[in-house]
């Protein structure tokens, strides 16, 4: 997916979401938002908030926490589609810098 490409999907609740391609800086910002010791679910939800809009409106982390679980899981799956399969497991591991 190119940097400018945005996918639109219909969520289970009927709302329309747009998902943009994730970048390394998005992952770093999500890690900063939830803290390095946060569980992988919190990291994914922070990425959803950063990479998605719903009904044309930007999301914040707290918005994602209040969404119906079917919508959250759908958005998480779309966000995960932005990462190569081999990199998915590393999202839950703390980042180590040399």
In this structure, are residues 10 and 66 in contact, taking their beta carbons and an 8 Å threshold? no
Calpha distance 33→6 (Å, rounded)? 23
Please tell me which residue, 86 or 51, carries the higher pLDDT value. Answer: 51
| For the chain, domain boundaries | 6-83
The pLDDT of 47-69, averaged and rounded, is: 95
The pTM for the full model equals 0.76
Q: What average pLDDT does the chain have?
A: 83
């Amino acid at each position: 997916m190119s940097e400018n490409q945005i996918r639109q999907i219909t969520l289970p609740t009927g709302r329309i979401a747009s998902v943009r391609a994730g970048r390394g800086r998005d992952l770093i910002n999500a890690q900063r938002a939830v803290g390095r010791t946060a569980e992988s679910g919190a990291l994914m939800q922070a990425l959803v908030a950063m990479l998605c809009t719903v009904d044309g409106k930007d999301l914040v982390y707290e918005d994602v926490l209040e969404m119906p679980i079917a919508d959250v899981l759908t958005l998480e799956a779309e966000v995960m589609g932005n990462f190569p399969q081999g990199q998915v497991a590393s999202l839950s591991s703390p980042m180590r810098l040399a």
